[in-house]
Structure formats: C-alpha cells, structure tokens
Amino acid sequence: MNELEFQPSATCPKNYVIFDQTCTKSRVMFHPSLAHKFGGGSSAYDNNVYGGGGAHDAAKGAYRDNVGYDDDDSCSVRQKEDTDEIDALLSSEDGDEDDVVSTGRTPGYRDGSSPDSTCSSSYGGGQARPGRKKERMKKMVRTLKGIIPGGNQMDTPAVLDEAVRYLKSLKVEVKKLGVRGSDN
C-alpha cells in the first residue's frame, strides 16, 4: 500500500479536501481549520502506533507527524517542504523545450509551411544556454514569494496556488469595474 499523508495547507480552500496520489504515496490536503476533524482520541493515535490498525491508523500517524500539539492541546501546523518534489518541478531537460511550446499538433510533426510552426521551431530550437529556463522559473518563484503575504513561509506549490487565486480575484474585480464603467 502507498504511504498516506495528511497535510494541512493554508492554500486549500475551506471545506475542501484535496486527494493527491502518486506512485509512491497518497496525500490528503485540507485547510488548517479542518484539522480538528482529522484528530482522534484512540491510544493508537496518541502513541503513534502504526502496526495493528491498518491504513486508518497509519493515516492518523502520518497526520500526527505533521501536526504539533502545544501544552494547552492547541494544534499548530508545521510547514514542511519536500525539496525533491520542488527540484523535480523546476528541473527541465534540454529536449523538453519542444513539449512546452504547443501548436495544436502532435509533438513530432512540423512541416515548416505555416508561420506558427516556423516561429515555434526557431523559439524552441535549443539555442538558449542550458539551465536558463530553470533559473527564470526560480527567479519568478522568489519574486512571487516576496509579493505574496507570508510567501516566504510557503512551499513552491502553495505560492503558485496563492498567486493563481489572487490573479483570479483580480480578474473578477476587473470585470466588475468594467461593467460599472460601461453603465456610466
């Protein structure tokens, strides 16, 4: 069975639970305000016993590892960053640049007759120095961490989620202002 991890995330919307499954582990993400709903009073939970209860107790143990309890039994979430996953997201091989540029055709098909295929072949031709794309992405994430409130304490996926959420809210505001402006 895959490893199951419960992970509170401030970027997860309230009253939503997100299930993320990969080959090696499964992750359940939720807003920290829902943390009390994943708690329990069983001795297996309190003693971090993973053996006898099967997947349910293992899940509780994984949750217990990510959440700390203060002296007054209040819950505090420890942010942990999986650097291997972040490096995997930010890394790119030289041959991957063609996959990023989408022209609506199959990746291997380029006849060179259309203007957009000529443009995309000159852009994705690999003339840029290696690692430049990775450095640009790292610079963008650092910039976003500086802009987003609390971004320096967030991991990369959380920063990107928060940036997307903020841009969507700005889009809604622009639409509201645009509608009001056309009425006057």
Q: Please state the domain extents for the chain.
A: 3-77, 93-130, 132-184
pLDDT confidence of residue 39: 63
- In this prediction, residues 48-53 reach a mean pLDDT of 36
Band (176; pLDDT cuts 50, 70, 90): confident
> Whats the size of the chain, residue-wise?
184
CA distance 65 to 143: 31
Separation of alpha carbons 84 and 82, rounded Å: 6
**Which range among 117-121, 129-133, 139-143, 161-165 shows the weakest confidence by mean pLDDT?**
117-121
d(CA 66, CA 79): 8
Decide if pLDDT at 142 tops 50. yes
Say if residue 3's pLDDT is above 60: yes
Contacts for 4 with CB less than 8 Å, ≥ 6 apart: 25, 26, 27, 28, 55, 58, 59, 62
Count of H helices and E strands in the chain?
Answer: 7, 5
pLDDT above 70 for 106: no
The helix/strand/coil state of 63 is helix
Kindly state the tokens that stand for 154.
């967030």
